[in-house]
Amino acid sequence: MAGVVRRIKLGSQGLEVSAQGLGCMGMSAHYGPPKPDQDMITLIHHAIDAGVTLLDTSDVYGPYTNEILLGKALKGGVRDKVELGTKFGGCISGDNKWDIRGDPAYVRAAIEGSLKRLGIDSVDLYYQHRIDTRVPIEVTVGELKKLVEEGKIKYIGLSEASASTIRRAHAVHPITAVQLEWSLWARDVEEDIIPTCRELGIGIVSYSPLGRGFFSSGANLVDNLANDDFRKYLPRFQAENLEHNKTIFEGVSDFAARKGCTPSQLALAWVHHQGNDVCPIPGTTKIENFNQNIGALSVKLTPEEMAELESYASADAVKGDRYMDGISTWKDSETPPLSSWKALKGGVRDKVELGTKFGGCISGDNKWDIRGDPAYVRAAIEGSLKRLGIDSVDLYYQHRIDTRVPIEVTVGELKKLVEEGKIKYIGLSEASASTIRRAHAVHPITAVQLEWSLWARDVEEDIIPTCRELGIGIVSYSPLGRGFFSSGANLVDNLANDDFRKYLPRFQAENLEHNKTIFDRVSDLAARKGCTPSQLALAWVHHQGNDVCPIPGTTKIENFNQNIGALSVKLTPEEMAELESYASADAVKGDRYMDGISTWKDSETPPLSSWKAA
């Protein structure tokens, strides 16, 4: 049978493969019990003799056993006759749960494992099997690029990746092939993914081109599936969908009879007719089925016949999804921006305590909203973990309190996230003393973030004492009065129009003229102390106690260094009192925020009983 199968260029980087490949997964996993090694090796050798040289496997098939099988089949000089594709990404995590990983350390460990099991020095085509949505695709492909440079892999591929993810990956290193499910009844990739691949010169490898065997035997397929064959549980093969879907097979079968071929050959021919940049990789465990699949290369279809075939299996005609819920596909393959990884990559994550917040959002009618309902809490943490490219947040705050949802409900959901390991500690921001107490009764609150500075001291009456009574830490935001204690009234002159501080009441002309005297006095004391006004104001916050952590923000290293210097400024009780006299409540003009912005003063929530009743 040598020479039956023509050759094609896959992608634009020089890889040449057989126009049809051989999917090897079912030989070892997922499609019933593993088949005898020697029978499968005989089949693989038969395929190679027939001219099918693109062999497809993955480390997750088995796991590992399919690669080991391929390693045996490639001995004795066979390796040089094939183009070998394998994949990484799916793994079992430490808690025995399915996980997807694309971090550099895992990529490198995965290729080393595959090379060892396959008994080879280099993989021809190495795919990311599923996309790790916690890791920017640029990071994963960057590591694959290193493997190309080291000679451990020759070409890079992706599997089940969206068009935008493909574009981002290709910008780091040319992607040679994208593997996706493309068949008569799986055509959702045609809208964006296929055109993107063609625009970028990326080859297309079609897995399950026979609809996981459906186009070989129709609805009868399900009757013969073993209990450990995962197809038995696919939505399209469930009774409520199968009865409908069998009419698709009947239409294809009638057409095939007219063409003088089998239904599977007709379905496979349809894939071949998509273009010379497409290589289907039907899997089989039987030589007779393999030979039948090769016969599809001889089936010619006119445009009219292609259209007729497609009409049988239009999107409306197919019932049931491709996969069960929870299995990743290209539809959930977006990754965080590279910028999120850059700050915490290279082991930096382990050196920091990371706090982030949830609660503020844009509602459906494009208006600002505050949400604390359980569904939103869960969606918010998943989004933050993805953007940050991490597994767990150290300190997760409710940024503003949703006054429609009992605080016990919100904190109850946060408690679940702690138990699941997605967050380590719970925080609140701009919460009243009573709200803090109610929250703390559900799960210990680790920190409350609030505006506390020389000119923002309203929290001292109830909130600070409550935190101290309950053993809750205090995180002081805007400890420099949003920059006022750095440069005084001059600050406003240098603010851009889109800097929201420009519109704060305290920075309006009618208030600023009065408030600048506060800065002048702080500045005079700072000169006597031999420090800057900002260091003095920050030192005042530090002197409030060892349970207080101010978090001054800056975008300049020199300002950061100056802020650190505040830790060395020592203040006597008399100096503390003098500073406080400059910015007493009567001395400050203008509120902290504009009207309509939530603070601790409007953070009371309904009783828990109201939620239970609803």
| Stretch 481-487: mean pLDDT | 93
Predicted confidence band of residue 533 (pLDDT cuts 50, 70, 90) = very high
Q: Classify burial at 555, counting beta carbons within 10 Å of its beta carbon; exposed 0-12, middle 13-18, buried 19 or more.
A: exposed
Q: What's the rounded Cα separation, in Å, for the pair 103 and 91?
A: 12
pLDDT band, residue 2 (cuts 50/70/90): very low
Quick one: pLDDT at residue 614? Answer: 54
**Does the active-site annotation cover 31?**
no
Domain 7-213+275-290 sits in CATH at 3.20.20.100
Mean pLDDT across 409-413: 97
- pLDDT, mean of residues 274-284: 97
**CA dist., res. 428 & res. 411, Å (int):** 10
Quote the percentage of the chain above a pLDDT of 90.
85
**Is the confidence at residue 522, as pLDDT, over 80?**
yes
- Output the pLDDT for position 94: 66
The token pair that represents 606 in the structure block: 């309904």
The CATH class given to the 478-597 domain equals: alpha beta
Question: What are the Cα distances from residue 499, in Å, to 203, 493, 496, 514, 590?
Answer: 47, 11, 5, 22, 18
- Asked whether the predicted pLDDT for residue 560 surpasses 50, the reply is yes
pLDDT score at 344: 75
**Residues 155-171: what's their mean pLDDT?**
98
**Strand ranges inside 182-271, DSSP E:** 203-207
Residues of the chain with CATH 3.20.20.100: 7-213+275-290, 478-597
Q: Residue 1's pLDDT is what? A: 43
Mean pLDDT score, 570-574: 96
Residue 204's SS3 state is strand
Average pLDDT value for the chain: 94
- Regarding predicted confidence, which is higher, 6 or 342? 6
Q: Rounded CA gap, 211 and 473, in Å? A: 58
Look at 34-43, 99-108, 313-322 and tell me which has the smallest mean pLDDT.
313-322
**What's the mean pLDDT in 273-292?**
97
Q: Tokens for 181?
A: 């499910």
Which pLDDT band, with edges at 50, 70 and 90, does 613 fall under? low
Q: Does residue 134 have a pLDDT over 80? A: yes
Give 15-48 pLDDT, tens digit per residue: 999 999 999 999 999 999 999 999 999 999 999 9
Q: What is the pLDDT of residue 79?
A: 98
Is residue 545 predicted with pLDDT exceeding 90?
Answer: yes
Summarised one tens digit per residue, pLDDT across range 578-612 is: 999 998 877 899 999 998 899 999 999 999 999 87
Residue 554 clears pLDDT 90, i.e. is over it: yes
Q: Reply yes or no on whether the pLDDT at 132 is more than 80.
A: yes
Identify the band that residue 368 occupies on the pLDDT scale cut at 50, 70 and 90.
confident
3-state secondary structure of 280: strand
pLDDT of residue 387: 83
> pLDDT band at residue 315, thresholds of 50, 70 and 90?
confident
Among 31, 61, 126, 582, the one annotated catalytic? 61
Least confident interval from 210-219, 355-364, 437-446, 597-606: 355-364
Residue 464's pLDDT is what?
Answer: 98
DSSP-assigned states of every residue in 37-89: HHHHHHHHHHHHHHT--EEE--TTTTTTHHHHHHHHHTTTTGGGG-EEEEEE-
**What CA–CA distance (Å, rounded) separates 372 from 397?**
11
Mean pLDDT of 462-489: 96
